[in-house]
């Protein structure tokens, strides 16, 4: 039983901001379909009245004093940037 | 040579830190080209650290507990001014401006950071074949995989490139390669060790662990890296303990739980036999074997692949070609994102980002992600119930010994099955350890896994050590 087709996989790739080649889409579609098929076995587990568990330990919010500490210097923060202009990260225009 | 022995010889001045480092650098240069355990060896930095320690020792200065001990770091753990690539093209030129908390701790303990080890890209895999810089090979049989994702760290210890390495464990990534390379792999409780500076994969599962030649070394290193860190809000406030001080004390009246689900179909018969032999050693030592059940464990793999990928799809959104990492430019910002990520990530990382994105997308979130979180609670409840009847849980680490390179490369689901016994501890946040318990007829190592209740690392290590001493005493 197929649950994911090529169009759906292309839509997921767009949501994930991943450019995929046609060959990658062809390969990923049956692979993801098989994995989704496998994880669907969970629907057989009775989880009536079970709360989701997002975190394994029962820890409540962690608070600390709001003390200022030194952050990275501008040059350090920009050192790994693939594109910069002056003290800023540079990108192509986001708006027309 | 164990870390404990290295440190004894250093303390007695039978060997200098520089000479010890030379010994390991020679081993690396003779065999790393073949095995590809290290992606980067910081020879200059390591020599400088070793010389400084020798100098301070000569002056009679007080030194840290790991003074002069060479350590390797998995390449998804940040090291200031030393490349940290996560074995990904997208981070191939990344040089972190800061050290991870665990690296801070190692430096404060006067360990010598030798270099960075290979992994499956972003720690996603079970064989270290998903590295953008080529696979790591198993030093016991180089036609086989070393396990993963901390395959480089496990290989480095097994090949005697370093006495100790750090790895990370999201679904078994320390324990499974330890099993397949014949070394000891320790995954602490979730939150026991700070994740600050560990590149995020599945944030509710990730933990830094150790790879060592024996259990005493694991206790020693855990004592150095464990404990609170305000920079990781999920790091527990309990301070770490001196695990090394107690590790040689055997446990009395130990109840060893044996989950029947871990001895079902899919388990290699040689692995089963070696694990059962170790269980009988526990009986000889006065422990009681208790048959237990983890009834939800057959669903753990499906839960893991939804939870871990959902978290990964968010965590890896930061690789956008803007702030750091490689960029492929486009006519607009959206194109820049899509092209940079499309070119920068490898196949398995893309597969997992896609699965996680799907599991969180509108219309599917309740059926996949929320459902998985509910079953995760049942898995944790299974462990809670089991630990009412036993003190530790024992079984195999991996269903098979090391498989051949390429054998599972085109079948992601078959690859995922390598983690079937290890992911439960991650989903439930429990400490767990793999130690070598024998070899197959082909001479491949077999791992024995122990799991303890949360924060019971001391019990875990003592239980493991009492077995290890018997296993090593055998002729």
pLDDT tens digit string along B292-312?
999 999 999 999 999 999 999
Does the distance separating the beta carbons of A38 and B358 come in below 8 Å?
no
B257 SS3 class: strand
Looking at residues B445-452, what average pLDDT do you find? 98
Q: Is the ipTM of this complex over 0.85?
A: yes
Task: Tell me which chain B residues have a C-beta less than 8 angstroms from the C-beta of A41.
Answer: 299, 302
Q: Could you say which of B127, B165, B173, B434 is catalytic? A: B173
Q: Examine residue B253 and state whether it is found in any structural domain, yes or no.
A: no
* B332 located within any domain: no
Does B407 map to a domain? no
Lowest mean pLDDT among B110-119, B121-130, B465-474: B465-474
Q: What was the pLDDT predicted at B428?
A: 97
Contacts 24+ apart (CB under 8 A), A71-79: A72/B97, A72/B98, A76/B97, A77/B97, A79/B95, A79/B97
Q: Provide the shortest C-alpha distance from residue A17 to chain B (in Å).
A: 5
Catalytic annotation, pick one of B18, B74, B88, B187: B74
Interface test with A, best of B236, B301, B358, B382 (most A CBs within 10 A): B358
Torsion sign over Cα B92, B95, B98, B104: positive
Q: Which two tokens stand for residue B39?
A: 């992606």
CB B306 within 8 A of CB A39: yes
- In this structure, is residue B404 part of a structural domain? no
B163, B183 contact by CB (below 8 A): no
Q: What is the mean pLDDT of residues B240-251?
A: 94
Residue B114: predicted pLDDT? 98
Which residues in chain A touch residue B330, judged by CB atoms under 8 angstroms apart?
Answer: 92
Contact between B396 and B448 (Cβ < 8 Å):
yes
Contact between chains at A39 and B302 (C-beta distance less than 8 A): yes
Determine the Cα–Cα distance for residues B297 and B301; give it in Å rounded to an integer.
Answer: 8
3-state secondary structure of B36: coil
Radius of gyration over every alpha carbon of chain A, rounded to an integer in angstroms: 23
Closest CA of chain B from A92, distance in Å? 5
Q: Give the lowest-confidence range in A78-87, B4-13, B154-163, B279-288.
A: A78-87
In tens, the pLDDT along B150-190 reads 999 999 999 999 999 999 999 999 999 999 999 999 999 99
Q: What pLDDT does B265 receive?
A: 84
Higher pLDDT, B435 or B238: B435
pLDDT at B214: 98
Minimal Cβ distance to A92: which of B189, B296, B332: B332
Residue B146 domain-assigned? yes
Are the beta carbons of B355 and A36 closer than 8 angstroms? yes
Whether residue B294 contacts residue B257, with contact meaning beta carbons closer than 8 Å, is answered with no
Does the pLDDT value for residue B274 go beyond 60? yes
Report in angstroms the alpha-carbon separations of B100 from B165, B226, B309, B434: 14, 13, 23, 25
**B304 CA: distance to closest CA in chain A (Å):** 9
Nearest CB partner across the interface for B190, out of A12, A14, A56: A56
The answer to whether the CB atoms of B303 and A42 lie below 8 A apart is: yes
Secondary structure (3-state) at B226: coil
Question: How close is the nearest chain A Cα to the Cα of B280, in Å?
Answer: 32
Interchain contact, B191 vs A57, CB within 8 Å: yes
Domains in chain A, ordered, with CATH? 6-44 (1.10.20.60)
pLDDT greater than 80 at residue B474 = no
Residues in Cβ contact with B93 at an 8 Å cutoff, skipping those fewer than 6 apart? A80, B83, B326
Query: Is B74 among the residues known to form the active site?
Result: yes
Which comes out higher in pLDDT, residue A58 or B241? B241
Ramachandran sector of residue B341 (left: φ over 0; alpha: ψ -120 to 50; beta: rest): alpha
Contact B260, B291 (CB under 8 A): yes
**Span A31-42, pLDDT tens digits:** 999 999 999 999
Q: What are phi and psi of B332, to 5 degrees?
A: -145, 180
Distance of alpha carbon A21 from alpha carbon B427, whole angstroms: 34
| CATH code of B61's domain | 3.90.1300.10
* Strands laid side by side in the B392-396 sheet: B38-41, B112-117, B70-74, B164-168, B208-212, B184-187, B432-439, B445-451, B392-396, B255-259, B288-292
Whether the predicted pLDDT of A60 surpasses 60: yes
Chain A and chain B share a number of CB contacts under 8 A equal to 169
Place of tokens 């500490």: A69
User: Using the beta-carbon criterion (under 8 Å), do B204 and A54 form an inter-chain contact?
Assistant: yes
Going by C-alpha positions, the residue among B17, B206, B42 that lies closest to residue B116 is B42
Is the CB of B373 less than 8 angstroms away from the CB of A53?
yes
Q: Please report where in the chains the tokens 């054998």 appear, as a residue.
A: B407
Q: Report the percentage of chain B scoring pLDDT > 70.
A: 100
Would residue B18 show up in a list of annotated catalytic residues for this protein? no
Distance between A1 CA and the closest CA of chain B, angstroms: 17
Residues 6+ apart with CB under 8 A from A74: A87
Q: Is residue B375 part of a domain?
A: no
Q: Rounded to the nearest 10 degrees, what angle do helices B347-360 and A6-15 cross at?
A: 90
Residue at token pair 């893991």: B304
User: Does the beta-carbon distance from B338 to A17 stay under 8 Å?
Assistant: yes
Whether residue B368 lies inside any domain: the answer is no
Residue B372, classified by CB atoms within 10 Å of its CB into exposed (0-12), middle (13-18) or buried (19+), is buried
Which residues form the domain of B27?
Answer: 3-246
Average pLDDT over residues B227-256: 93
Question: Cβ of A55 and B354 within 8 Å?
Answer: no
Catalytic status, residue B173: yes
In angstroms, rounded to a whole number, what is the distance separating the alpha carbons of residues B417 and B242?
A: 35
For residue B284 the two structure tokens come to 């000889």
Whether the pLDDT of residue A94 is over 90: the answer is: no
Mean pLDDT of chain B: 96
Indicate whether B38 belongs to any domain: yes
Compute the distance between CA of residue B168 and CA of residue B462 in angstroms, rounded to an integer.
Answer: 22
Higher pLDDT, B353 or B475: B353
Q: Is B122 left (phi over 0), alpha (psi -120 to 50) or beta?
A: left
Q: Give me the half-sphere count of Cα atoms (radius 13 Å) on the Cβ side of residue B475.
A: 0
CB contact under 8 A, A9 and B354: yes
Q: Tokens 């030649």 correspond to what residue?
A: B213
Nearest CA distance, B151 vs chain A (angstrom): 24
CA distance B415 to B397: 15
- The structural domain count of chain B equals 1
Q: What was the pLDDT predicted at A1? A: 47
User: Which among B305, B327, B341 has CB closest to A18?
Assistant: B341
Kindly tell me if the per-residue pLDDT of A3 is higher than 90. Answer: no
Predicted confidence at residue B460, as pLDDT, reads: 98
For chain A, the first-to-last Cα distance in angstroms comes to 44
CA-based nearest residue to B433, from B125, B281, B207: B207
Alpha helix (H) residue ranges in B87-142: 101-108
Encoding tokens for residue B217? 């070394």
Whether A89 and A82 have beta carbons less than 8 Å apart is answered as: no
Cβ-based contacts of B341 with chain A (< 8 Å): 16-19
Which of the residues A82, A83, A93 would you substitute to probe the B interface, choosing the one with the greatest number of B C-beta atoms within 10 Å?
A82
Higher pLDDT pick, A61 / B284: B284
- What would the pLDDT profile of B38-93 be if each residue is shown by its tens digit? 999 999 999 999 999 999 999 999 999 999 999 999 999 999 999 999 999 999 99
Q: Which of B177, B159, B160 is nearest to B169 (CA)?
A: B177
């Amino acid at each position: 039983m197929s649950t994911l087709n090529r169009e759906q996989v292309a839509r997921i790739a767009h949501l994930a901001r991943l450019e995929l080649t046609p060959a990658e889409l062809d390969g990923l579609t049956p692979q993801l379909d098989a994995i989704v098929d496998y994880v669907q076995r969970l629907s057989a587990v009775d989880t009536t009245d079970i709360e989701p568990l997002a975190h394994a330990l029962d820890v409540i919010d962690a608070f600390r004093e709001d003390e200022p500490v030194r952050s990275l210097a501008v040059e350090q923060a920009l050192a790994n940037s693939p594109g910069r202009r002056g003290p800023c990260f540079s990108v192509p225009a986001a708006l027309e | 040579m164990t870390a404990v022995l290295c440190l004894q010889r250093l303390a007695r001045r039978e060997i200098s830190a520089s000479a010890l480092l030379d010994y390991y650098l020679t081993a690396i240069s003779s065999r790393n080209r073949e095995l590809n355990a290290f992606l980067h060896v910081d020879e200059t930095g390591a020599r400088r650290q070793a010389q400084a320690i020798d100098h301070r020792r000569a002056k009679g200065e007080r030194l840290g507990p790991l003074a002069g001990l060479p350590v390797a770091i998995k390449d998804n753990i940040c090291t200031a001014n030393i490349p940290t690539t996560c074995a990904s093209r997208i981070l191939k030129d990344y040089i972190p401006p800061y050290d991870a908390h665990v690296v801070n701790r190692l430096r404060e303990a006067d360990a010598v950071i030798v270099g960075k080890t290979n992994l499956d890209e972003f720690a996603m895999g079970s064989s270290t074949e998903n590295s953008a810089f080529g696979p790591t090979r198993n030093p016991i049989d180089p036609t086989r995989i070393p396990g993963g994702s901390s395959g480089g760290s496990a290989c480095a210890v097994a090949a005697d490139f370093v006495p100790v390495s750090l790895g990370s464990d999201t679904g078994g990534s320390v324990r499974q390669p330890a099993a397949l390379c014949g070394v000891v792999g320790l995954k602490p409780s979730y939150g026991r060790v700070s994740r600050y500076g560990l590149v995020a994969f599945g944030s509710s599962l990730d933990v830094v662990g150790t790879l060592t030649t024996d259990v005493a070394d694991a206790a020693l290193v855990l004592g150095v890296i464990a404990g609170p860190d305000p920079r990781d809000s999920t790091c527990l406030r309990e301070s770490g303990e001196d695990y090394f001080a107690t590790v040689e004390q055997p446990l009395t009246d130990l109840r060893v739980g044996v989950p029947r689900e871990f001895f079902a179909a899919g388990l290699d018969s040689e692995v089963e036999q070696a694990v059962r032999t170790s269980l009988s050693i526990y009986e000889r030592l006065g422990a009681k074997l208790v048959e237990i059940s983890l009834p939800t464990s057959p669903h753990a793999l499906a839960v893991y692949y939804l939870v871990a990928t959902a978290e990964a799809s968010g965590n890896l959104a930061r690789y956008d070609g803007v702030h750091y990492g490689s960029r492929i430019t486009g006519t607009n910002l959206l194109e820049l994102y899509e092209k940079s990520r499309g070119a920068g990530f490898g196949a398995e990382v893309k597969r997992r980002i896609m699965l996680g994105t799907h599991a969180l997308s509108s219309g599917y979130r309740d059926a996949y992600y929320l459902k998985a979180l509910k079953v995760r609670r049942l898995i944790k409840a299974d462990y809670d119930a089991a630990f009412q009847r036993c003190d530790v849980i024992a079984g195999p680490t991996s269903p098979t010994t090391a498989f051949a390179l390429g054998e599972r490369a085109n079948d992601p689901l078959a690859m995922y099955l390598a983690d079937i016994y290890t992911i439960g501890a991650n989903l439930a946040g429990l400490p767990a350890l793999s130690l070598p318990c024998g070899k197959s007829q082909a001479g491949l190592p077999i791992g024995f896994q122990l799991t303890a209740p949360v924060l019971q690392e001391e019990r875990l290590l003592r239980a493991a050590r009492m077995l290890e001493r018997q296993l090593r005493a055998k002729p």
